[in-house]
Structure 1
Amino acid sequence: MTYLSGAFLIILAGVLWSVQGLIIRLIPDAGSWAILFWRSAGMLPVLALWIGMASRRNAVSEIRAVGWAGVLGGLGLVMAFSGAIYAFQATSVANAVLLFAASPFFAAILGRILLGEWVSPLTWFAIVLAAIGILVMVGGGLAGGAMDGNIAALASALGFAIFTVTLRWGKLANMLPAVALGGLFSMLAGAVALGLLGKAVLIPLPEIAISALMGAITLTGGMLLYTVGSKVVSAAQATLLSLIEVLLAPLWVWLLLGETVSRGTLIGGAVLLVAVLLNAYGGRAQRA
């Protein structure tokens, strides 16, 4: 595979991920836990099929081989998946996806604390810059009554950072079995939460279909494309290419649902994106 082919796959993954906020907004009745349950139910068969085809082994054996690192990573994905769904329902899509971009900085801090990984001065500067951008965005959300959605978006970013750090801790070359564990744990978490809240797992059939297809196509499809493309594209460049999700997600809801973007989101998001670009540049320079 050539570099251009890999870059195209990563961009296509970002395009798929960018429509998830719009799709969740189009589900009128189901709550976050029901969407989490059925979206995870849709992603698991696709992941199991892909893992089996790629490894030519039983998917269950591949999942068991990831060990405790995969288990912890899967639990981190439960936080990432559930926080993202709630954030899309509770705050603006622009707020949510921009705050998701804080994940690399959480990963850098956790990697330093838990794995002793060196963090460059440029990355520390980018972390401080990102924190300023996040404070501006969250402050705007507080004024607009969307603080819980902003906190959920940050929890989602932290969950994905935990997933990333556990993969490095376990030195897992293939992240898809850990993603499958995350889907399984998310189904269980959704079912337990619905039971505790006294709500039914069964929701209207059209909403089940939308949630399951979202898991099978946009979430899992994007993950598979990103995994394949990142084999020939460096991590820093892949991070930059995947920013297409951050740029497109607010555009879809603006075009189709008329959702506007607040001034705080624009200012804080711009600062956060500059921090992400600095971090990606620092990672590329370090690898060079």
Structure 2
Amino acid sequence: MTHRRAVALMVLVTLLWSIAGVVTRHLDAARSFEVTFWRSLFNAIALAVALTAMRGRALWLGLLRAPRAVWVSGLCWSVMFTAFMVAITLTTVANVLVTMAIGPLVTALFSRAFLRHRLPARTWLAVAVAGLGIAWMFGRDAGAGLSLTGTLVALAVPLAAATNWTLLQHIGHGTAEAEEASAGQDMLPAVLIGALISAAVTLPLAWPLTASMRDVGLLSMLGVVQLAIPCLLVVRLTRELPAPEIALLGLLEVIFGVAWAWLGANEAPSSNTLAGGALVLGALCANELLALRSRAPVPARAPQPGLR
């Protein structure tokens, strides 16, 4: 795959991820945990079909015997799937997306804390500016408890994502012994595990189900198009693009998502959200662009076993 094609696919991934907010605003009756249940259920069905086609019976034979890292990663995916949709029903799309945008910085802090990676001064500065942006975004509207609650729920997404990426980084770039032990470890089924856990946990909380057939159709589209397809693509793209570049391109989801909600649901972001979001995105873009400039070329990684 050429670099240009990989970048184009990553832009497509962010575009697909960004449609969740605007689609959710057009639901008839489904709310909160029921929205999460239907999306996770159809995500799990789509992933089961796709991974069975890719792996065959080996997928299901090895799922229960999967190592602990796969199940921990699956738990992280389930938190990401669940918290995102619940937060979308509690606050504005812009608040959720800007809050999630701090994920690369949280990942950098986790890498420093758990993998002992040194962080450059630019990253510490970006952490401070992004934190100021988040505080500005909902600090001015502290009286709106609903917005604050949604933002706090949305914070679970970058925290779970940072845990997941740190785990995957440890597996792929740990000691020689760790790499040898995990050489045949397939982490892709963790996404399926996460979808199954999310659907199972939210079903009791969503009962009784009140979604209309139109709601189910829209949420099935989200489960397949907005979640399953881009998740499979991004796992493939981690073999083609460096992590800083993926993080930088991933910020397009914030721009796309806010634009969709504005144009398709008349959900104009507040001035506080725009000001706070500008601080967050500015800090992230500056940090990632400087990282790309200072990053030395590295040889292409060998394809992961079992991935096509």
Normalising by structure 2, what TM-score? 0.84
Between the aligned partners of 1:284 and 1:61, the Cα distance in structure 2 is 41
RMSD: 2.2
Query: What secondary structure is seen at the aligned counterpart in 1 of 2:272?
Result: helix
Q: Match of 2:154, SS?
A: helix
Q: Which runs of 5+ in 2 are unaligned?
A: 173-181, 297-308
Q: Measure the CA separation in 1 of the matches of 2:119 and 2:88.
A: 31
Name 2:158's counterpart in structure 1: 157
| Matched-pair contact (CA < 8 Å) for 1:12–1:225 | no
Cα deviation for residue 55 of structure 1 reads 4.2
1:67 partner amino acid: P
Q: Deviations over 1:234-280 (max 9, x none)?
A: 22122222222111111111112211111111111011001211332
C-alpha distance in structure 2 between counterparts of 1:94 and 1:119, whole Å: 29
Counterpart in the other structure of 2:301: none
8 Å CA contact 2:75–2:197 kept in 1: the answer is yes
Query: What is the 5 A alignment of 1:33-48?
Result: 33-48=33-48
The separation in 2 between residues aligned to 1:243 and 1:2, in whole angstroms, is 22
Residues 1:218 and 2:226 aligned together: yes
Specify which of 182, 187, 194 is matched with residue 182 of structure 1: 194
CA–CA separation in structure 2 for the residues paired with 1:240 and 1:116:
23
Name the CA distance, whole Å, in 2 between partners of 1:133 and 1:63.
41
Q: 1:285 to 1:89 in 2, by over 3 A?
A: same
Structure-2 change in CA distance of 1:99 and 1:49 (3 Å): same
Tell me how far apart the structure 2 counterparts of residues 203 and 139 of structure 1 sit (CA, whole Å): 34
Instruction: Give me the whole-angstrom Cα distance separating, in 2, the residues matched to 1:144 and 1:130.
Output: 21
Contact residue 140 and residue 265 of structure 1 kept, 8 A: no
Q: Is the 8 A contact 1:48 1:59 kept in 2?
A: no
Q: C-alpha separation between the residues in 2 aligned to 1:85 and 1:119? A: 32
Residue by residue, what CA displacement relative to the aligned partner does 1:15-50 show, whole Å, maximum 9, x if unpaired?
111111111111232222112111111111222233
Change beyond 3 A, Cα 1:63–1:117: farther
8 Å CA contact 2:133–2:275 kept in 1: the answer is yes
Aligned position for 2:235:
227
Contact residue 40 and residue 81 of structure 2 kept, 8 A? no
Shift in alpha-carbon separation, 1:268–1:104, aligned structure 2, 3 A:
same
Greater Cα shift, 63-72 or 14-23: 63-72
Structure 1: which 5+ residue stretches go unaligned? none
Q: Matched residues in 2 for 1:65 and 1:235: separation?
A: 29
Is 1:193 the counterpart of 2:201? The answer is no
Structure 2: distance between partners of 1:264 and 1:62: 49
Confirm or deny that 1:125 pairs with 2:125. Answer: yes
Change over 3 Å in CA distance of 1:52–1:260 after alignment to 2: same
Letter in 1 for 2:198: S
Q: Does the CA-based 8 Å contact 2:104-2:247 persist in structure 1?
A: no
Counterpart position of 1:252: 260
Cα shift at 1:61 = 4.0
Amino acid at match of 1:203: A
For residues 32-73 of structure 1, the C-alpha deviation after alignment (integer angstroms, 9 at most, x for no partner) is: 211211111111122223333444562224544652112122
Alpha-carbon spacing, 1:74–1:40, altered in 2? closer, same or farther (3 Å): same
**Contact conserved, 2:98 with 2:280, CA < 8 A, in 1?**
yes
Amino acid of the structure 1 residue aligned with 2:5: S
Identity, % of aligned positions:
29
Alignment pair present for 1:94 and 2:94: yes
Number of matched pairs: 284
Q: Distance in 2 between matches of 1:32 and 1:165?
A: 29
Q: State the partner residue of 2:167.
A: 166
> Structure 2 vs 1, CA of residues 135 and 52 (structure 1 numbering), >3 Å: closer, same or farther?
same
User: 1:261 — aligned with what?
Assistant: 269
Give the distance between the partners of 2:61 and 2:101, measured in 1 at CA.
33
Partner AA of 2:133 in structure 1: G
- TM-score normalised by length of structure 1: 0.90
Structure showing greater Rg = 2
Query: Distance in 2 between the 1:29 and 1:237 partners?
Result: 39
